[in-house]
Structure 1
């Protein structure tokens, strides 16, 4: 078999899955319920964030929080301050790709 197969969780429970972490990229799958999210941090690579379901509430650098619905892809530059939250009732599901892969 040439391909590698990876499975993502399918439920509504909080999840932060490091699906692929190699020298080329980092591929993460995240699920957050209302009032859950990531701690505020600075992007350690270029970040490509896809909203799979729900509504993303995100503050970048010093701008106000913006909201993005399912089907939206955000490209966030390296070293951008990020504050990612789910402020809504519906479960938020994200796919995050970091490329190039962070060095540490």
Structure 2
């Protein structure tokens, strides 16, 4: 078989799955329930964030929190302060792709 196969979780439990972490990209699958999210941090590559379900609440640098619904793709440049949260009742599911893969 030529292709590699990866399986993503499908439930509602909090999850941060590092699915593919190679020299080309980092592909991360995330699930957050209300009031869950990631620690505030700086992007270490270009970040492409797809909201699969739910509503993302995200603060970038010093701007106010913006909210994005399922079906939205965000492109976030490298070296941006990020505050990623789920502030809503519905489970939030994200696919995060970092390209090129961070070398830090």
> Scaled by the length of structure 2, what TM-score is found?
0.99
For the residues of structure 2 that align with 1:10 and 1:47, how far apart are their CA atoms?
Answer: 23
Unaligned runs of 5+ residues in structure 1 are none
Q: Work out the CA distance in 2 between the residues paired with 1:62 and 1:41.
A: 13
Structure 2 match to 1:29: 29
Instruction: Name the CA distance, whole Å, in 2 between partners of 1:95 and 1:62.
Output: 24
Secondary structure of the residue aligned to 2:19 is: strand
CA distance in 1, matches of 2:65, 2:86: 11
**Structure 1 runs (4+) greater than 4 angstroms displaced:** none
Match of 2:41 in 1: 41
Q: Residue 71 of structure 2 aligns to a residue in which SS?
A: coil
Number of the residue aligned with 1:74:
74
1:15 pairs with 2:12: no
Provide structure 2 residue ranges, at least 5 long, that are not aligned to the other structure.
Answer: none
Tell me by how many angstroms 1:62 deviates: 0.4
CA distance in 1, matches of 2:18, 2:47: 14
CA RMSD of aligned residues (A): 0.3
1:69, distance to aligned residue in structure 2 (A): 0.2
Whole-angstrom CA distance in 2 between matches of 1:50 and 1:13: 19
Query: For 1:99 and 1:35, how far apart are their aligned partners in 2?
Result: 28
What's the offset of the Cα at 1:30? Answer: 0.1
TM-score calculated relative to the size of structure 1: 0.99
